[in-house]
Amino acid sequence: MAGNLLARSVHDLTAAAWFGGSLMGAIGLNGAAAQAKDPAERTRLSSAGWMRWAPVQTAAFAAHLAADLAIAWENKGRIAKQDGVARDTAIKTVVTLAGAGVTLYSGILGKKVDKLADEGAKGATEPQPAASDELKSAQQQLKLLQWAIPGFAALVIILGAKHGEMQRPTNVLAGLRRS
């Protein structure tokens, strides 16, 4: 019964943290920071919140990858033999790594926005017309990435659920017959 309970729990909880944290940041943190009266504080407050979240997110990614490896090790036979499991595992791995890359790049852009905070902004991802091209570019990219990141996290969660469905005895038997 306990088999992969810890690894699966860590896997799901860390994906949930990635999804929930990025969505809350895009809606709650960035939205609230846009309400600051001082335009320079809008990006500074948002950046401060994201910087506080970054170590938690990094730890969640590390724990997620460790849990992924444990789950894959436990299921190596199914991955090798059950039709579709290796393909879906590869897809989930690519989505996870791409999402992690986008999240990392977003953090790099966020540091750039923080460095240029004195220019002021309409919001965390909305530049003022007089902003430098560097700030405008970073904020415009972040405006898109703030929605792409929870999208990647949601895909990881959905693909994890699909993997769970593939473990139902009837699906395992059908998949083993097809391979």
Listed as ranges, residues in the chain with pLDDT below 70 are: 1-3, 171-176, 179
Contacts of 175 (CB under 8 A, 6+ apart): 82, 83, 84, 85, 166
Residue 41 backbone phi and psi in degrees, to 5 = -75, -20
Torsion of CA 66, 70, 72, 75, to 10 degrees: -170
pLDDT of 169: 74
Q: Could you tell me the pTM of the whole model?
A: 0.89
CA–CA gap between residue 51 and residue 46 (Å, rounded): 9
CA–CA gap between residue 17 and residue 101 (Å, rounded): 16
